[in-house]
Amino acid sequence: MKAIKILLAAVFIFVNSVTKAQEQSRQFSIIPEPEFVKVMPGNFKLSSANIILYDDRNAELKFIADQLSEKLKVYTGYKLPVKKLTATAGKNQVIFKLSDKLSGVGAEGYTMDISSGNIVITSNQPQGCFYGMQTLLQLLPVNPTEAANIPALHIQDQPRFSWRGSMLDVSRHFYSVKQVKQYIDFLAGYKLNTFHWHLTDNQGWRIEIKKYPLLTSIGAWRKRSLIGHFEEQPERFDAVPHGGFYTQEEIKDIVAYAQRKYVTVVPEIDLPGHCTSALAGYPELGCGENPGPFEVKDKWGVFDDVYCAGKENTFKFLEDVFTEVAELFPGKVIHIGGDECRKTNWKSCKYCQARMKKEGLKNEHELQGYFINRIAQVLKSKNKRVIGWDEILEGDHLSPDALVMSWRGTTGGVTAAKKHHDVVMTPTTYLYLDYYQGAPYLEPLTIDGFNTLERVYNYEPIPSVLNADEVKYIKGVQGNIWTEFIPNFNQLQYMAFPRLSALAEVAWSKPEKKNWERFKLKMETEYSRYEALGINYSKSAYQVSFEMVRGARTQKIQMVLKTQSYNPDIYYTIDGTEPNQNSNKYVGPFNVNPNVKIKAATFKNGVQQEKTTDYEVK
């Protein structure tokens, strides 16, 4: 009996401790999920009495400390002093320091120890302290306050992948310097470290090249833009000229801004196709004897206009362009596109055919390989590596140090990894963030596709067909936002959020640390953060979806209602009327009859969260 009592007491203590830990864990929400978190007793009180200290052996830590002070000023209304760390540590301090004895966190990882006395963020490299700061900011209460309690924790954290990126297309629609910087802030807040900047395409050239001024005086502007989807007939256009470009000084400013956030800017200059905006100013770069005239495209899609692969002046032009580009971007990698290059003009161009004969190329696909490899050699001479979409594998002559961005599914990534090329996984079917994220009839027009929050979150970047040696070539992941149907920054935010949060956890967190149910719970806090920051996020995760099933016992048709939100309150009707909180509350699958129209919506705190969805049972 005594043994049983002891056992019951032990069980009670265990259950009670687990419950307390769960309750404490609900007090904070960290995205992406850290590698290790241990809840400790107590809290650190954030107040005007705090001091931020930095290890002055590295000047970058002062920049990080200053950034934290500025962010806390916006949050609390007061600015905390920033001082050098001395040997005598006291209380009420937030400390950033480096250590050459810190193991298990790599170059970008960190440890964080929060107690009632102070907060200490330690890393091997400054970027680790920066990422620790992002975690600390997520531990603050959502709503700004003069004083806040931060839960005592021990965190050890490091990223899974070295390339954690997002691409923004500024060719189809132009965004201001201020907006680009704000987008970089979004990435940095989620510990994403690569900003892929799609600067040129058929619809606009967005980067100043001093040697070729017509690229921006002509190529940066289109007369009008397509209205509606490009498959719609007849085509409709607005009457509003659209354009803009970034001066080299503005680009330097943006790159420097990103560097302070530990974000590497990777510019993309698209070739051999997607280049009509360049040909509009310099038509001699096209195929044939007297090519052109060309106009900056006013509609979306893929076109026959490409650079001529047979003319030497094409390569001279591109070498000049990349000479200026390489000087503007200190990162080691430059993107050259390489996708969707139609070969129609090459097949009929005497210059291209002569090039193929001279170089012993069997077909136009090998000619593309030749083109890509020549540009890769240009960039190599400038100490840059080339990266391109997976079509750069065409021709089988790709430079060994080239990186491949796998977008047409995972096949390109698998092929590249097996050939020992570094790979960034960005398949359309999971990581194109310009695709629909909710029911298309409730969402803004997009190009197509369907990538919900859950679908993005559940993506696994390592293809199962790769062996242990090949896996090491998968360097990371990237979410892409093409902007044909995203005309302004407000809508850009809608498409990016909340899916950037899911991308962040795919890119940073180890698979065993990911949990969809826990992520949904964390997102409830994250949505509140979006609202506090004024971010125009999508609430599509609250949309109700419908699934017809058969009852296990009766085999009768039943309806299952689902959302991608945590523990939602769903109300529905079966008479076609709009649901409210007086309607049927969903508690589980229910029987349905033919010729019934079901309408359903999610509510939180008495407020409907998203538009009503409906389903008609035939």
Active site residue ranges: 340
Type of residue numbered 586: Y
For residues 391 and 178, give the distance between their C-alpha atoms in angstroms, rounded to a whole number: 33
3-state SS assignment for residue 201: strand
Cβ 411 vs Cβ 393: under 8 Å: no
For residues 320 and 375, give the distance between their C-alpha atoms in angstroms, rounded to a whole number: 11
Residue given tokens 């032009």 in the structure block: 317
Q: Environment class of residue 259 by beta-carbon count within 10 Å: exposed (0-12), middle (13-18) or buried (19+)? A: middle
Cβ 230 vs Cβ 301: under 8 Å: yes
Residue 275 CA neighbour count, 13 Å, CB half: 30
For residues 555 and 403, give the distance between their C-alpha atoms in angstroms, rounded to a whole number: 53
For residues 334 and 331, give the distance between their C-alpha atoms in angstroms, rounded to a whole number: 8
Cα–Cα separations (whole angstroms), residue 566 to 91, 133, 589: 38, 27, 18
Q: Can the peptide bond before residue 34 be classed as cis, meaning omega within 30 degrees of 0?
A: no
Q: What are phi and psi of 531, to 5 degrees?
A: -65, -40
Write the DSSP symbol of residue 586. Answer: P
For residues 322 and 314, give the distance between their C-alpha atoms in angstroms, rounded to a whole number: 12
**DSSP H helical ranges for 228-282:** 248-260, 276-281
What is the β-pairing status of strands 200-201 and 194-198?
A: unpaired
Type of residue numbered 419: K
**DSSP H helical ranges for 540-606:** none
For residues 357 and 56, give the distance between their C-alpha atoms in angstroms, rounded to a whole number: 62
Q: Which token pair is 214?
A: 């017509």
What is the β-pairing status of strands 333-337 and 385-389?
A: parallel
For residues 372 and 269, give the distance between their C-alpha atoms in angstroms, rounded to a whole number: 12
Name the CA radius of gyration of the chain, rounded.
Answer: 27
